[in-house]
A and B are shown apart, each in its own frame.
Chain A
């Protein structure tokens, strides 16, 4: 079985300050991990993915995430928030067991204050 826990339902930061969105996962097998973002009235967009290569993954728009197996975490960070980063972010896991279904976290809504 696999699951994802996003530790914060809402995060608010000021423009120009760092962003940290936390994610912990549970998986019986080697996982692939993803972060998706959804802006209002838009589809889900892939930010970055971890698939057992480098543990520090760089994504689009300056975001990155670090896979820490010992902590079963995959936190998303960005050094400096921009107003356009305001959206909902989803941590997602998929295990390589043949089933290709994604398991989503409950989402973290990021607010960026001017």
Chain B
């Protein structure tokens, strides 16, 4: 099966501009996650979709970040306006939606990430 695909692989933008990152999960995976790694820090959870619904967005840093998953397929993460501290690698991951007893054991499949540089 095709893996999780993220576009673009790299993006360099100026402070104040807008950037949209895209994630195509593995076909049939209802769960979609966004994570990011700011330079020198840990990989941090941003949010979790189940199909088109936001299940958990507790990790979104502020209202400059907007994630969507219309139709429950691919997802976009928009940063508007971008700030210097938004630089980092943004990862997308997807997993199957298991049964209640095994829902926590579905492995996450990660994309290669989008490296965002804000100058």
Using a CB-CB cutoff of 8 Å, which residues 30-72 of chain B contact chain A? 31, 33, 35, 41-45, 48, 55-56, 58-59
Give the B interface residue count (CB, 8 A): 27
The A/B interface has a contact count, at CB < 8 Å, of 57
Give the A interface residue count (CB, 8 A): 22
Question: What A residues does B108 contact at CB under 8 A?
Answer: 44, 46, 102
Interchain CA distance A96-B33 in the complex, whole Å: 17
Contact yes or no, B42 A100, CB < 8 A: no
Q: Is A80 an interface residue (CB 8 A)?
A: no
**Chain A residue at minimal CB-CB distance from B89:** A38
Binding site for A on B (CB under 8 A): 3-4, 31, 33, 35, 41-45, 48, 55-56, 58-59, 91, 93, 103-105, 107-113
Contact yes or no, B42 A105, CB < 8 A: yes
Binding site for B on A (CB under 8 A): 32, 36, 41-46, 49, 51, 90, 94, 96, 99-107
Contact yes or no, A44 B110, CB < 8 A: yes
B111 to chain A, nearest CB (A): 5
Contact yes or no, B43 A104, CB < 8 A: yes
Interchain CA distance A46-B104 in the complex, whole Å: 15
